[in-house]
Amino acid sequence: MKSHRNIDFLPTTLKEVKALGWEQLDVILISGDAYVDHPSFGVAVIG
């Protein structure tokens, strides 16, 4: 079983992606909307 590392919910840098043991990202969604506004706006609706 893989051990979990102390990293934020979603990686924001390549270094964080590598620290999670991921080789690549499948999908990258970018939006100017802040997630804190409401999770049903912007990228949250798409993803």
pLDDT tier at 2, thresholds 50, 70, 90: low
Q: What is the mean pLDDT of residues 21-35?
A: 80
pLDDT score of 46 more than 80 = no
Q: What is the CA radius of gyration of the chain?
A: 13
Residue whose C-alpha is closest to residue 28's, from 47, 7, 9: 47
pLDDT value for 27: 84
